[in-house]
Amino acid sequence: MNDVPDFKINDQWIVANRGKKNSVDPQKPYEWLVEKERTISGKIEDIAIIFLTNRECPFRCLMCDLWKNTTDESIPVGGIPAQIEWALNHLPVVKHLKLYNNGNFFDQRAIPEEDYGRIASLVSNFETVVVESHPRLINKRCLRFRDMLKPELQIAMGLETVHPEILPKLNKRMNPGDFKNSVDFLSKHGILSRAFILLRPPFLSESEGIYWAERSLDFAFNAGVECCIVIPVRSGNGVMDLLRDRNYFSPPDIRSLEKVIEYGIQLGTGRVFADVWDIGLFSSCSKCIGQRTSRLIEMNLRQKIIPPVKCSCD
């Protein structure tokens, strides 16, 4: 690991290094799409994702760029259900839905509880609904939402890394114990959880990045999550670019992502997915990037290790 410098990693420093937000329309989600995902039952099915335009998350995690598509102020009561209704009218009929709000579904200032009933009624034809939340915002509000919901609820939470020195540097204001307590709370109440895990956060070498992503998978599954998503860390939020310029951060290689996904799948404990969004950022070899991307997508869908790509860059 590179020496961790004596940066004062805090909200002010992270925010001071940001660029401008994108312009978003509070009347509409900022994106909506359908992708394929392997379900818990092993079928490959379409899942719709609605990226809600919502108030910026109150946390300021070092690696996060989700603030770019958020508003400064809360969306008035009724605004989030209206966005969902708008998106559902523009999406094909599918069985599964992710409602991502670039923050925490259970943050009252993001999605007011007064909206839960209308949201539940809008999504009643789905089989599963996935929402995201910081582990420290998991509480009885989740149960109240779940009790109104016909589809099965799954909650996605960022574990990020269990590296004992790096997790505090991420400014996530959480420790692995908080994550485990939240998974326990959800499991006790019959709600499934999934974990976001970072591949190569700042201050780690490539091999350390792999090692700690694998330990984080171990921790998440031992804690009781049903599914893990491994996210290769990128720059682009201002502060990560600064760390990159000063050699405290390098994005991971796609081959490391392949290794970590192979590791997670062979555990056989739950679903393990690679985040392949903008995956071209993580390869410098134009000869094999296409094959490696297809391999990751195939492993995501089949949850089986498939033969490796052979290339002169190995």
Query: Which range in 55-63, 120-128, 140-148, 216-224 contacts ligand SF4 by CB under 6 A?
Result: 55-63
Dist. CA 18–CA 172, nearest whole Å: 17
Q: Which residues contact 80 (CB under 8 A, 6 or more apart)?
A: 52, 54, 101, 111, 115, 119
Contacting ligand SF4 (CB under 6 A), which of 59, 212, 219, 282? Answer: 59
DSSP state of 282: G
Q: Is 313 in the site for Zn ion (CB under 5 A)?
A: yes
The structure tokens listed for 194 are 């999934």
- Partner that binds at residue 103, options Zn ion, ligand SF4, none, CB closer than 5 to 8 Å by kind: ligand SF4
Dist. CA 211–CA 190, nearest whole Å: 31
| E strands present in 233-274 | 271-274
Compare residues 64 and 276 and give the one whose CB is closer to ligand SF4. 64
Contacting ligand SF4 (CB under 6 A), which of 47, 49, 64, 288? Answer: 64
Compare residues 64 and 131 and give the one whose CB is closer to ligand SF4. 64
Dist. CA 228–CA 221, nearest whole Å: 8
CB of 311 to Zn ion, least distance (A): 3
Count of residues engaged in binding Zn ion, rule: CB under 5 A: 5
Residue recorded with tokens 């000869």:
287
Q: Are 311 and 287 in contact (CB under 8 A)?
A: yes
Compare residues 174 and 288 and give the one whose CB is closer to Zn ion. 288
How far is residue 142 from each of residues 67, 214, 289, 309, measured CA to CA in Å? 23, 29, 40, 43
Q: What is the CA radius of gyration of the chain?
A: 19
Query: Which range in 4-12, 57-65, 108-116, 220-228 contacts ligand SF4 by CB under 6 A?
Result: 57-65
Dist. CA 167–CA 256, nearest whole Å: 20
Compare residues 34 and 279 and give the one whose CB is closer to Zn ion. 279
Q: Which residues contact 167 (CB under 8 A, 6 or more apart)?
A: 160, 161, 174, 175, 176
Q: Is 30 in the site for ligand SF4 (CB under 6 A)?
A: no
Dist. CA 91–CA 194, nearest whole Å: 24
Compare residues 66 and 279 and give the one whose CB is closer to ligand SF4. 66
The DSSP result for 143-186, as a single string, is HHHHHH-SSEEEEEEEEE---TTHHHHTT----HHHHHHHHHHH
CB of 131 to ligand SF4, least distance (A): 12
Query: Which range in 12-20, 53-61, 286-294, 296-304 contacts ligand SF4 by CB under 6 A?
Result: 53-61
Query: Which range in 39-47, 52-60, 224-232, 245-253 contacts ligand SF4 by CB under 6 A?
Result: 52-60
Contacting ligand SF4 (CB under 6 A), which of 4, 34, 66, 305? Answer: 66
**Widest Cα–Cα separation across the chain:** 57
Q: Is 252 in the site for ligand SF4 (CB under 6 A)?
A: no
Contacting Zn ion (CB under 5 A), which of 123, 220, 288, 296? Answer: 288
Query: Which range in 16-24, 60-68, 141-149, 182-190 contacts ligand SF4 by CB under 6 A?
Result: 60-68
The structure tokens listed for 98 are 């992710």
Contacting ligand SF4 (CB under 6 A), which of 26, 29, 135, 158? Answer: 158
> Which residues contribute to the site for ligand SF4 (CB under 6 A)?
57, 59-61, 64, 66, 102-103, 134, 158, 172
> Which residues contribute to the site for Zn ion (CB under 5 A)?
285, 287-288, 311, 313
